Chains A and B, each alone.
Chain A
Amino acid sequence: MTITGALLYALCGVVLIGVGTYGFMTRAHLLRRVLAFNVIGSGVFLLIGALGRRTAGAQADPVPHALIITGIVVALSLTALAVALVLRHVGETGRVVLPEEDAEEGG
C-alpha cells in the first residue's frame, strides 16, 4: 500500500476520533465534554473528506464536501444548544459537572 496524502489525513481523522473519545471519557467538566465532542466531530469530517479524496485526478469528490459543510453547521447548532444547557445547569446548581460525577468524586 502506498502512502498518499489522503491516507495520512484519513488516519489523522481516525486518531482524532480516539483522542476526542478519550477526553470525553476522562474529563467531567461539561465544557470539556462539549470541546471533546467537537474534536470527535471534526475527526469524523476529516475521515470522510480524506476518503472522498481518493479520486484519480486533481479534483476531489464534491458530495462528501457538501455533506461535511452541512455537518459543520449542524455541529455548531448542537454545540450552541449544549453550551446553553451547561450554562443553565450551572445557573441552577452552581456546579460544572453532572450530579453523578459529583457523587463519584465524593462530594
Chain B
Amino acid sequence: MTLGLAFDALLCLLILSAAGLAVCGRRLFASIAFFVTYGILIGISWLRLGAVDVALAEVAIGAGLTGVLLIGAWAAIRRRRGNDGLALDATGAMNAADEAEAGDDPVMPRPRRLVAAVACSVLAGLLAAAVAALPAEVPGLLPAVTEKLADSGVSNPVTAVLLNFRAYDTLMESIVLLMALVAVWALTPEALWGDEPGLRQHARGDGVLATFGKVLPPLGALVGAYLIWAGSDRPGGAFQGGTILAAVWLLAIMAGMARAPRQSSRFLRLALVAGPVVFLGVGLAGAAFGVFLGFSAEYAKRLILLIELALAVSIAATLALLVAGTPVARGGS
C-alpha cells in the first residue's frame, strides 16, 4: 500500500513537471512534445485510479490526436512564417522561421507574471480546500449502476453508463463532434471548398513514416476493431476503437498510402452522419414503445452493439477529418 502510494506521489510529480514544462517551456515545439508526454503520464494515472476505459481514451485522444493537431498547426504556422521572408536556402529558411517564432512568442513582463502566479495559486488553494472538505469515502452512483447492470445488456459498467443509463449524453456528444467538424469546414477558403483536406504529405519511400505507414495500419485496424467489439464486457468501446481507426487512417494518409477523401464526397458524408442517425433512430424507436432511448433488457445488447458499430464508423471519420483540418492551397505560393 505504501509502495503504491509512493508510486502515486512520484507519478503526480512527473505529471506536474511535464505540465509545467509544456506550459512554460521556452520553445513551442518542446512544449508540445512535453504536452504529449504529459498526456501519456495522465493515462497511467487513470490506470492507477482503476479507469482503464478513460486511460485508453486519454492516451489515444488526449495525447495522440491532440498532439498531432498541435504539431500540425505548429508546422503550418512555421511554413507560413518561413515563406514571409526572402527565398532562403534550407538552413537559412529554418533560421528565419526560428527568429520569427521567438519574436511571436512573447512572455508577460515579470511583475504581471507574479500577479498571475499569485492569482492561480489562490485558485488552486481554494479548490484544494474544497477537495479536503469532502468526505473521504462515498459510494457515489456505483451501487445504482451495479444494481441495474444486469438490465443494461452489457457487463462493462462504463459502456452501460455511456450507451444505456446516460445514452442521452452520448447522443449529444456524437452530435457535438459532427457540429465541430461542420464549424471547422466552415473555415475553408471559398476557392478550396469541396477539396481534399490538408495534411497531404510527401513521405520518402524509404523513410520512417512510409515504413510505419505500411506496417502499422493492419495491426491498428485489428486493435481498433477488437476494442469496439470488446467494449460490451471489458474496457474499450466505440470511442476508443474509433479513435484508433482514425489514427490508422491518418497515418496511411500521411505516409502517402491513401488519399484523404474530398469534402464533397457523398460516401464520406454518409459515414459522418451514420452514428448519430442510427443512435437517434434507435432512440425514437424506443420512444414509440415507451421511453426515448429506453432499451428493453431483452434487446438491449443487440441495440447497443448496433449503435456502437455505427458510432465507431462516424467517430473514426469525424476525428480523422477534425485533425486533418481544412483544405490548403497547394503549390507553395
Contacts and interface: CB of A to CB of B under 8 A. Distances in A.
Contacts of A54: 134-138, 140
Contacts of A77: 176-177, 179-181, 322
Interface in A80-107: 80-81, 83-88, 90-91, 94-97, 101, 105
B104 A97 contact: yes
B49 interface: yes
B291 interface: no
Contacts of B80: 90-91, 94
A15 B16 contact: yes
Interface in B149-183: 157-158, 160-162, 165-166, 169-170, 173, 176-177, 179-181, 183
A15 B38 CA distance: 14
Nearest to B166: A66
A58 B80 CA distance: 52
Interface stretch (B124-132, B247-255, B276-284): B124-132
B45 A31 contact: no
Given A62-B161, A66-B169, A25 B120 contact: yes
Given A80-B322, A90-B77, A16 B69 contact: no
B5 interface: yes
Interface in A1-35: 1-12, 14-23, 25-29, 31-32, 34-35
A17 B4 CA distance: 25
Q: How large is the interface on B (under 10, 10 to 19, 20 to 34, 35 or more residues)?
A: 35 or more
B46 interface: yes
B58 A72 contact: yes
Which secondary structure dominates where chain B touches chain A? helix
B106 A12 contact: no
B77 A23 contact: no
B305 interface: no
Interface string B111-146: 011001101110110011001101111111110010
Contacts of B84: 94
B137 A50 contact: no
A38 to B, nearest CB: 6
Interface string A45-88: 11101111111101111111111111011111111110111111
B70 A35 contact: yes
A87 B49 CA distance: 37
Interface stretch (B17-25, B202-210, B263-271): B17-25
Given A12-B45, A73-B61, A94-B84, A26 B113 contact: yes
B310 interface: no
A11 B33 CA distance: 24
Contacts of A20: 19, 23
A22 B4 contact: no
Interface in B64-83: 65-66, 69-70, 72-74, 76-77, 80-81
Interface of A: 1-12, 14-23, 25-29, 31-32, 34-36, 38-39, 42-43, 45-47, 49-56, 58-70, 72-81, 83-88, 90-91, 94-97, 101, 105
17 contacts: A5-B49, A18-B121, A18-B127, A21-B119, A52-B140, A55-B140, A61-B139, A62-B142, A63-B140, A66-B166, A69-B158, A69-B237, A73-B173, A77-B179, A80-B69, A83-B69, A94-B81
Interface of B: 4-5, 8-9, 12, 15-16, 19-20, 22-24, 28, 31-32, 35, 38-39, 42, 45-46, 48-51, 53-54, 57-58, 61-62, 65-66, 69-70, 72-74, 76-77, 80-81, 84, 104-108, 112-113, 116-117, 119-121, 123-124, 127-128, 131-132, 134-142, 145, 157-158, 160-162, 165-166, 169-170, 173, 176-177, 179-181, 183-184, 187, 189, 237, 239, 315, 319, 322-323, 325-326
